């Protein structure tokens, strides 16, 4: 039997019998919440606790990385200051005075969720965490991320959001 004939037969079989067993299984996700949104219509295609209120730390760190990539070079050498070592939360325990490239700090920020790396990046890019927060807030508005009013680049804050408004607003 030719491939064309076989494909036609299978298509008609599935069409006629509307086999529900062909449908994809629900995805296995590690995250606590998720939302898959149709970009054109804004329709929720899939949601996992999409209305659950969460802290936006990871989103903040992604924005920190984006701003750093726009405003600095990966090969820049960054010296860790005293604010970074007192950042709290998840850290890689950078000592004051340590010198790393921006690329190394971005890896620490994104892979280890390192708050001390985020503070070091912010101070390198903008001179202070406060100045970096202002720059990040402008970037967030350009990206339509209404949830971010950042006091710091690591999101150790009390602001709670849900995944849906963050995407849909």
Domains of the chain by start residue, with CATH? 57-168 (3.40.710.10)
Instruction: Write down the pLDDT at residue 9.
Output: 59
Q: What is the pTM of this model?
A: 0.66
Instruction: Write down the pLDDT at residue 5.
Output: 60
Binned average pLDDT, 10 residues per bin, the chain of 169 residues: 60 54 68 80 82 75 92 98 90 96 96 93 94 86 63 50 48
Strands 34-37 and 44-48 turn out to be antiparallel
Strands 99-101 and 44-48 turn out to be unpaired
Instruction: Write down the pLDDT at residue 65.
Output: 94
Instruction: Write down the pLDDT at residue 16.
Output: 57
Instruction: Write down the pLDDT at residue 29.
Output: 79
Active site residue 131: no
Set 58, 136, 142, 159: catalytic member: 58
Instruction: Write down the pLDDT at residue 158.
Output: 44
Active site residue 58: yes
Instruction: Write down the pLDDT at residue 75.
Output: 98
CA–CA dist 129, 84 (Å, integer): 10
| Residue 46, both tokens | 């899939």
Set 3, 52, 113, 136: catalytic member: 113
Q: Are 163 and 33 in contact (CB under 8 A)?
A: yes
Residues contacting residue 145 through CB under 8 Å, at least 6 positions apart: 59, 63, 166
Taking CB atoms within 8 Å and a gap of at least 24, the contacts of 106-114 are 106/65, 106/68, 106/69, 106/74, 109/61, 109/64, 109/65, 110/61, 110/62, 110/65, 113/57, 113/58, 113/61, 114/90
Set 3, 4, 52, 61: catalytic member: 61
Residues composing the chain: 169
């Amino acid at each position: 039997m030719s491939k064309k004939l076989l494909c036609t037969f299978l298509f008609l079989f599935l069409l006629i019998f509307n086999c529900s067993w062909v449908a994809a299984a629900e995805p296995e996700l590690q995250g606590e919440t998720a939302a898959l949104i149709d970009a054109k219509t804004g329709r929720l295609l899939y949601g996992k606790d999409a209305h659950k209120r969460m802290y936006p730390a990871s989103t903040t760190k992604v924005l920190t990385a984006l701003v750093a990539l726009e405003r600095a070079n990966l090969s820049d050498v960054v010296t860790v200051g005293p604010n970074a070592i007192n950042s709290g939360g998840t850290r890689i325990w950078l000592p004051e005075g340590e010198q790393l490239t921006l690329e190394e700090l971005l890896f620490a920020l994104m892979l280890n969720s390192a708050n001390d790396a985020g503070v070091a990046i912010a101070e390198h890019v903008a001179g202070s965490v406060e100045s970096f927060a202002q720059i990040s807030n402008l970037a967030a508005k350009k990206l339509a991320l209404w949830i971010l009013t950042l006091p710091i680049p690591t999101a150790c804050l009390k602001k709670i959001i849900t995944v849906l408004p963050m995407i849909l607003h």
